[in-house]
């Protein structure tokens, strides 16, 4: 039994790890360059991922598949991880100016790439649907809370609430999810030719995004690791997802819902966190370091966590 569960777990996380490593290797031999990373990232986040989410959601019955309790819990859990990360930062992170970078790295998950890929590999279409429906709300919350904490610790530059709201509603992922929900609820027919074309395009999203994730990593970050890096890894890949999973289990979540929650919250720090830190004049070097290290460690801890959840029969 142990070996079969271990094999299933490796089949979930193994392909993700391999694609990230492949991206690292191709970048090191100069097969992929910075221009590719920039263009592929733009293609993934403005076209491929939105199309993937849209075609996934329009094919389901929203009223039957929407889990209000799960939706509410994901919002509360996102806020809770934010608060706990900030509390830890106040007591343990120095210098003070780096606390905002630390907090964002701890609570903000890479939902659109690693989280979505993990859920799809682990639970197939059902996991992909559940994750897709949670991404819009969690992404919006991540953006708002990130601006709050980064602005608080960066007196040189602040972002207006109006700008935050505009950025949320201009986010291609959120737009595609809201549009898909609208189409699904009203049962608006979509021609098969567009669905098939969308599925082809959407199938590029996760592999291309994972290759770009690996290619964009700076492995020198591993040599430059500090106490803040160690603390972030501990919080992001172990303490916070463990807390969320145990709390969800205590509240009655199990099976696919519990597994999806764990995989979304254990996902490494979002690459978008670097962009936000850089745009607000923060310590972007530290932000890039934390993304790299949590990605490498997070894939391993997600494997261990999923293995234990399946071994215990909880997910």
On the question of pLDDT at 299 being above 90, the answer is: no
Structure tokens at 168: 């949320």
Q: 3-state DSSP call for residue 269?
A: strand
Residue pLDDT, tens place only, 250-298: 999 999 999 999 999 999 998 888 777 877 777 878 888 888 889 989 9
Task: Give residue-wise pLDDT tens across range 4-32.
Answer: 777 888 888 888 889 888 988 998 888 88
Query: What's the average model confidence in pLDDT over 51-58?
Result: 88
Phi, psi of 109 (to 5 degrees): -90, 155
Looking at per-residue confidence, does 173 or 222 come out higher? 173
Q: What is the pLDDT of residues 96-151, one digit of tens each?
A: 888 999 999 999 999 988 898 999 999 988 898 899 889 888 988 998 898 888 88
Cβ–Cβ < 8 Å for 244, 83: no
Residue pair 106/85 in contact by the 8 Å Cβ criterion: yes
**What CATH number does the domain located at 2-309 have?**
1.20.1530.20
Distance between terminal CA atoms of the chain?
15
Average pLDDT, the chain: 86
**Tens digit of each residue's pLDDT (9 = 90 or more) over 219-251:** 676 666 688 999 999 999 999 999 999 999 999
pLDDT band, residue 77 (cuts 50/70/90): very high
Contact 310, 300 (CB under 8 A): no
pLDDT higher than threshold 80 for residue 161: no
Report pLDDT for 305: 93
Residue 75 near residue 138 (C-beta atoms within 8 A): yes
Is residue 155 predicted with pLDDT exceeding 60?
A: no
Q: Where are the domains of the chain?
A: 2-309
């Amino acid at each position: 039994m142990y070996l079969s569960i271990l094999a299933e777990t490796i089949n979930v996380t193994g392909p993700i790890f391999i694609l990230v490593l492949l991206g690292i290797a191709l970048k090191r031999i100069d097969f992929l360059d910075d221009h590719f990373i920039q263009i592929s990232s733009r293609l993934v986040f403005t076209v491929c991922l939105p199309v993937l989410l849209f075609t996934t959601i329009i094919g389901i019955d929203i009223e039957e598949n929407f889990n209000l309790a799960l939706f509410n819990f994901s919002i509360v859990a996102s806020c809770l991880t934010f608060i706990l990360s900030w509390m830890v930062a106040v007591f343990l992170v120095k210098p003070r100016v780096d606390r905002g970078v630390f907090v964002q790295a701890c609570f903000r998950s890479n939902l659109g790439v690693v989280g979505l890929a993990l859920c799809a590999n682990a639970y197939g279409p059902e996991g992909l649907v559940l994750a897709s429906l949670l991404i819009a709300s969690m992404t919006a919350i991540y953006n708002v809370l990130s601006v709050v904490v980064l602005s608080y610790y960066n007196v040189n530059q602040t972002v207006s609430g109006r700008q935050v709201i505009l950025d949320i509603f201009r986010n291609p992922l959120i737009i595609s999810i809201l549009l898909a929900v609208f189409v699904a609820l009203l049962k608006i027919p979509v021609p098969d030719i567009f669905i098939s074309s969308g599925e082809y395009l959407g199938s590029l999203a996760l592999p291309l995004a994972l290759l770009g994730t690996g290619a964009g990593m700076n492995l020198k970050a591993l040599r430059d690791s500090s106490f803040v890096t160690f603390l972030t890894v501990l919080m992001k890949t172990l303490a916070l997802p463990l807390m969320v999973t145990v709390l969800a289990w205590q509240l009655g979540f199990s099976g696919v819902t519990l597994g999806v929650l764990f995989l979304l919250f254990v996902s490494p720090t979002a690459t978008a966190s670097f962009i936000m830190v850089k745009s607000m004049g923060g310590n972007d070097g530290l932000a890039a370091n934390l993304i790299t290290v949590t990605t490498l460690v997070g894939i391993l801890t997600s494997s261990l966590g999923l293995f234990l959840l399946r071994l215990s029969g909880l997910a």
